[in-house]
């Protein structure tokens, strides 16, 4: 997902273990899973099969789905309003004792209930899609970058203190880390 360029399976098998530390044996299975979930695209071009992910594709799919859900929500809201007006009209006409009218009222009430349920489901889906909004994702990426930078700055400061103390007090790094309760594998965050 980090590089918006196509890769062959062979290139992925070589690059992923180096970049992410993923076990070599699970890479092909993971790629197949990502392709089946439509999170990575796969296309056979000539004799090679290429894999890629373009953030624009995901954004376009999310926007199209959001637009579709909003249109359905609008249609259902209009249908609910229409049915409510029909019920009010029928009640205002005050037909009593008419069995056909009672059946119509029951059917309309049931349809109104179903449309209300559908509307609630669509609102939940729209809210779920809001979590994938490109602007929200961009703010999360920016916040993550700031957090990583701050963590790396603190790590750098710890290394400077470690260097200072080990030189001034003739102490090994291992002793200093044990005394300061720092993990032995302390390193910068990528």
Alpha helices in 3-133 (DSSP H): 9-20, 27-36, 55-93, 99-130
pLDDT score, position 115 = 80
CA distances from 94 to 91, 101, 134, 182 (A): 5, 10, 53, 81
pLDDT score, position 94 = 59
pTM of the model: 0.34
pLDDT digits (tens, 9 = 90+) for 46-105: 888 887 777 666 677 778 888 888 899 888 888 888 888 887 777 666 555 556 656 676
């Amino acid at each position: 997902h980090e590089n918006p360029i196509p890769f062959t399976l062979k290139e992925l098998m070589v690059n992923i273990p180096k970049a992410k530390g993923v076990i070599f044996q699970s890479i092909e299975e993971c790629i197949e899973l990502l392709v089946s979930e439509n999170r990575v695209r796969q296309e056979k071009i000539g004799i090679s099969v290429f894999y890629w992910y373009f953030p624009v594709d995901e954004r376009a799919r999310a926007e199209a789905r959001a637009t579709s859900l909003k249109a359905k929500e609008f249609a259902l809201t209009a249908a609910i309003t229409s049915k409510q007006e029909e019920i009010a009209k029928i009640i205002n006409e005050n037909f009593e004792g008419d069995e056909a009218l009672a059946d119509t009222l029951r059917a309309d009430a049931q349809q109104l209930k179903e449309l209300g349920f559908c509307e609630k489901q669509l609102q939940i889906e729209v809210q779920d899609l809001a979590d994938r909004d490109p602007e929200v994702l961009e703010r999360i990426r920016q916040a993550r970058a700031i957090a990583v930078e701050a963590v790396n700055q603190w790590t750098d400061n710890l290394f400077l203190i470690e260097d200072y103390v080990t030189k001034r007090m003739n102490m090994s790094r291992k002793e200093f880390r044990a005394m300061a309760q720092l993990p032995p594998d302390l390193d910068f965050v990528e």
